[in-house]
Amino acid sequence: MSKDLNESVSMESETVAIIGGGNIGRAITEGLVRCGAIDPTRIVVTRRQVELINDLAGMGVSVQNDNLDALKRSNVIIIAVRPRQLKDLLEGLRPELEPGRHMIISVVSGIDIREIRGIVGNDIPIIRAMPNLAASICESMTCLAAEKEHNDALSRAAALFDNVGHTLVIDEELIVPATAVCACGVAFFFRAIRAASQGGIEVGFHSEEALEMAAQTAKGAASLLINGNMHPEAEIDKVTTPRGCTIAGLNKMEEFGFSSAMIKGMRISAEKAEELVNKD
């Protein structure tokens, strides 16, 4: 959360509708239930093929395919549909949106607040959020953006997403790049862990052992940076003894483009995220 936001927002009066119970809608739902900050009976999740989210009902949340009914039961509306589905969805919701009661949090990539406002009008606070799949285990990195006049709504959105991980308030123009870093980023690190486990197999471990070793080592490295507020290079210096095996491995990886592959991949993901609307 940012220093400018109200950090004492209570979850007690929040009732949440998650419109679009797909990958990310489901992850947010699971995280909100897991963290316990909101009673599951105050969460409703929708999708048209409602049978695919019936299992969420077992967690105590309501599942349904009636978006307007979900709106009537909620004050926070998290929208998690694909970009090309957003316009029709918002047009369907518009008649039931109540200024002073509802706020919209859109996790949809590539569609900005101005476009959403063009459909729902000026009186509904709109927040853009870019979480990732680790919301399901309350370890998301979620970036948030809003217009200046909606700081109160932004505080509420940040308080909500703080329950499912870390939040960072950014300028709206950076939400698309944040998609590459945070949302796509999960896949980049999965691939990095898979590569490390394949290396582990090459040097003598069974695949399950190698995967466990790679994933826990990645988790430990990330925790060292987060808990100790350290820079990666400072931590790398502690592992690289002169003429040692770590620096030899690192330099070989760089010779094959390790850092530049990650940077170039992230850049192209950000470019694609910009182009996504109407093409997914």
Ligand X SMILES: NC(=O)c1ccc[n+]([C@@H]2O[C@H](COP(=O)([O-])OP(=O)(O)OC[C@H]3O[C@@H](n4cnc5c(N)ncnc54)[C@H](OP(=O)(O)O)[C@@H]3O)[C@@H](O)[C@H]2O)c1
> Rule CB under 6 A: is residue 172 a binding residue for ligand X?
no
* One residue of 109, 136, 155, 197 binding ligand X per CB under 6 A: 109
DSSP 8-state secondary structure symbol assigned to residue 103: E
Find all residues with CB under 8 Å of 30, minimum gap 6, and list them: 56, 59, 135, 136, 137
Residue 164 and residue 135 in contact, taking contact as beta carbons nearer than 8 Å: yes
Whole-number Cα distances in Å, 81 to 107, 109, 184, 221 = 8, 9, 17, 34
* One residue of 29, 62, 74, 132 binding ligand X per CB under 6 A: 132
Q: Which helix (H) or strand (E) holds 144?
A: strand 140-146
> Rule CB under 6 A: is residue 24 a binding residue for ligand X?
yes
Binders in 230-269 for ligand X, by CB under 6 A: none
Instruction: Give the integer Cα–Cα distance in Å for 280 and 276.
Output: 6
> Rule CB under 6 A: is residue 31 a binding residue for ligand X?
no
Q: In this complex, which beta carbon is closest to ligand X, that of residue 80 or of residue 210?
A: 80
> Rule CB under 6 A: is residue 83 a binding residue for ligand X?
yes
CB of 20 to ligand X, least distance (A): 3
Which candidate, 60, 24, 15, 32, places its Cα nearest to that of 165?
Answer: 32
Binders in 42-81 for ligand X, by CB under 6 A: 46-49, 67, 80-81
Instruction: Give the integer Cα–Cα distance in Å for 125 and 166.
Output: 22
> Rule CB under 6 A: is residue 29 a binding residue for ligand X?
no
**Taking CB positions, which residue lies at the least distance from ligand X?**
22
Whole-number Cα distances in Å, 61 to 19, 69, 70, 131 = 13, 14, 12, 20
Instruction: Give the integer Cα–Cα distance in Å for 189 and 157.
Output: 27
CB of 174 to ligand X, least distance (A): 14
> Rule CB under 6 A: is residue 108 a binding residue for ligand X?
yes
Q: In this complex, which beta carbon is closest to ligand X, that of residue 56 or of residue 153?
A: 56
> Rule CB under 6 A: is residue 85 a binding residue for ligand X?
yes
Residue span binding ligand X (CB under 6 A) among the ranges 4-12, 93-101, 125-133, 227-235: 125-133
Instruction: Give the integer Cα–Cα distance in Å for 199 and 193.
Output: 10
> Rule CB under 6 A: is residue 133 a binding residue for ligand X?
yes
CB of 256 to ligand X, least distance (A): 28
Q: Under the rule (CB under 6 A), what is the footprint of ligand X?
A: 19-25, 46-49, 67, 80-83, 85, 89, 107-109, 130-133, 183
